[in-house]
Amino acid sequence: MSGFWEHDVKWKRVSNTTKLEKVSCRFMSQNIEGKVVVITGASSGLGEATARLLSAQGASVVLGARRVDRIQALADELNRSGGKALAIPTDVTHADQVKRLID
């Protein structure tokens, strides 16, 4: 999959908060626009950042995590920004919840 992702994302800390703000982003993908991507751990950290990045590039994102309030807030934000996002409460240690996430 060489060349699928080439990225250069620069962030800066929003003053007096723990939040980061994207300053610039450059990356190359092969047809991510219009794809559906399921992301676990989407309530924070790399999962949240991945959801934001892929949504900005036109992917529909399905957000899975245990913290329902966090993934719902992220889904609402991405949808308001013109993206397509769906929040599904998921604990990956429960097979039935993982199945629901991908179905």
Residue 74 sits in a domain whose CATH number is 3.40.50.720
Does some domain include residue 16?
no
The more confidently predicted of residues 23 and 93 is 93
Does some domain include residue 93?
yes
Compute and round to an integer the Cα radius of gyration of the chain: 14
Does some domain include residue 19?
no
One-letter amino acid identity for 10? K
Running DSSP on this structure, what letter comes out for residue 14? Answer: P
Q: What is the pTM of this model?
A: 0.72
Running DSSP on this structure, what letter comes out for residue 4? Answer: S
Strands (DSSP E) contained in the chain are 6-13, 20-28, 36-40, 60-65, 84-89
pLDDT grade for 2, boundaries at 50, 70 and 90: very low
Inform me whether the pLDDT recorded for 36 exceeds 90.
yes
pLDDT on residue 30: 63
Neighbours of 22 (CB within 10 A): 13
The more confidently predicted of residues 81 and 5 is 81
The more confidently predicted of residues 14 and 50 is 50
Range of the domain at 68: 32-102
